[in-house]
């Protein structure tokens, strides 16, 4: 291992903790169901066949362990638990600097969905503002032309009037 | 004692943690019973093969029950601890954590009132846009009218100009001048005519006297 680097041992991820907790459970269960306990319950048989009792017990332990381990494996793969655990670890790590409680669904979907709509509404609003601005500017120019046109017409009318009078 | 429904965790995992733990509990329990059944079966078979054995099946059954009861008790206690640890450490979402899919609630924490205000603002903008469009239509309509009117007025002016051009080309100068000239000319003509009349009268008289 060449790099010295800031190698801080990371806290065990959820997947690791999950496995460890289950393994510990199994260990303790098997320890509780010890051979002594087994033999003392099946005392009459143990007296008759001690070696057989031992062998049956060993099979009992191994069978129980493999069934349980298999079940855990199935549950993990079915729900993609390891993947979920890893993502959750990442998400939690990213939030580690924030202290305040985060948002949680209010239980009223209509209300919660409003926030999802907000970005679109904001875009829509800024689009409308821009369109309005452009239209107002355009209309201002057209209004100027209209006023100029009116003045021009008055001018022409006055010219015609002047000509008419000259012909009187 | 209130039960935490862990709905947010369910949103993330696709199942509630409690359901997951229950499923595990039932499965493990089943295996325990199953294995014990097998154990009992094996013992009974072995006893069968042993002649003169004084152990009855019901005795074996009692042994099994004894062991099983003990195991179940331990199992429940150990499972309880395991469940607590898993729910706390692995299957829960800390209070300060927001799932990525909910980011929008952090970015845009709009209360229902703020949301309504935003919608209202947009409604107003839409109305204003419509008003501007209507104004544009009216303005452009007037521009079209003005075009027509201007064209008519310019035609009239052109007519006046053409008329005056004709008069100028004919060397008559301005209309007023021409009219004045005409009037003068006709007056002069009248004078000349009178003179010519008088002269011819004189001539006629002289002829008569000769």
Determine contact, residues B174/B167, Cβ cutoff 8 Å. Answer: yes
Which pTM value belongs to this model? 0.67
Determine contact, residues A46/B47, Cβ cutoff 8 Å. Answer: no
Contacts of B122 in chain A (CB under 8 A): 121, 124-125, 128
Q: What tens-digit pLDDT sequence spans chain B (210 residues)?
A: 567 889 999 999 999 999 999 999 999 999 999 999 999 999 999 998 888 788 889 999 999 999 999 999 999 999 999 999 999 999 999 999 999 999 888 888 888 899 999 999 999 999 999 999 999 999 999 999 999 999 999 998 998 888 888 877 776 556 666 677 778 888 888 888 888 888 888 887 777 776
Domain boundaries, chain B: 7-107
Contacts of B78 in chain A (CB under 8 A): 25, 28-29, 32
Q: Do B28 and A68 touch (CB under 8 A)?
A: yes
Select the residue of B90, B96, B136 nearest A102 (Cβ to Cβ). B96
d(CA B124, CA B118): 10
Select the residue of A75, A79, A115 nearest B108 (Cβ to Cβ). A115
d(CA B98, CA A166): 89
The string of pLDDT tens digits covering residues A23-80 is 999 999 999 999 999 999 999 999 988 999 999 999 999 999 999 999 999 999 998 9
Contacts of B108 (CB under 8 A, 6+ apart): A115, A118, A119, A122
Contacts of B5 in chain A (CB under 8 A): none
Count of alpha carbons within 13 Å of B138, Cβ hemisphere only? 9
The string of pLDDT tens digits covering residues B129-168 is 999 999 999 999 999 999 999 999 999 899 888 888 887 7
Q: Do B78 and A32 touch (CB under 8 A)?
A: yes
Interface test with A, best of B8, B77, B96, B113 (most A CBs within 10 A): B96
């Amino acid at each position: 291992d060449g790099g010295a680097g800031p190698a801080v041992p990371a806290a065990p991820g959820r997947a690791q903790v999950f496995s460890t907790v289950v393994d510990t459970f199994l260990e303790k269960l098997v320890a509780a169901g010890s051979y002594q306990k087994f033999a003392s319950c099946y005392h009459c048989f143990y007296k008759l066949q001690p070696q057989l009792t031992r062998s049956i017990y060993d099979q009992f332990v191994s069978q129980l362990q493999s069934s349980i381990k298999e079940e855990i494996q199935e549950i993990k793969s079915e729900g993609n638990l390891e993947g979920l655990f890893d993502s959750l670890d990442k998400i939690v790590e990213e939030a580690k600097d924030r202290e305040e409680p985060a948002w949680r669904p209010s239980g009223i979907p209509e209300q919660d969905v409003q926030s999802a709509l907000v970005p679109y509404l904001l875009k829509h609003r800024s689009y409308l503002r821009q369109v309005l601005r452009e239209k107002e500017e355009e209309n201002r120019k057209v209004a100027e032309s209209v006023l100029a046109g009116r003045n021009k017409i008055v001018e022409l009318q006055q010219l015609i009037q002047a000509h008419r009078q000259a012909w009187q | 004692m209130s039960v935490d429904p862990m709905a947010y965790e369910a949103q993330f995992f696709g199942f509630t943690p409690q359901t997951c733990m229950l499923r595990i509990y039932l499965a493990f329990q089943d295996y325990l019973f199953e294995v014990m059944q097998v154990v009992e079966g094996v013992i009974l078979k072995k006893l069968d093969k042993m002649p003169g054995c004084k152990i009855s099946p019901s005795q074996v059954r009692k042994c099994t029950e004894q062991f099983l009861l003990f195991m179940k008790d331990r199992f429940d206690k150990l499972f309880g601890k395991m469940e607590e640890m898993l729910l706390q450490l692995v299957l829960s979402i800390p209070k300060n954590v927001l799932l990525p899919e909910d980011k929008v609630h952090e970015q845009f924490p709009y209360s229902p009132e703020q949301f309504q205000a935003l919608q209202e603002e947009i409604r107003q903008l839409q109305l204003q846009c419509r008003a501007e469009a209507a104004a544009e239509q009216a303005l452009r309509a007037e521009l079209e009218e003005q075009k027509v009117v201007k064209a008519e007025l310019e035609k009239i002016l052109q007519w006046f100009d053409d008329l005056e051009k004709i008069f100028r080309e004919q060397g008559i100068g301005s209309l007023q001048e021409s009219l004045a000239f005409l009037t003068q000319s006709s007056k002069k003509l009248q004078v000349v005519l009178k003179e010519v009349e008088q002269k011819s009268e004189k001539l006629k008289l002289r002829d008569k006297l000769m």
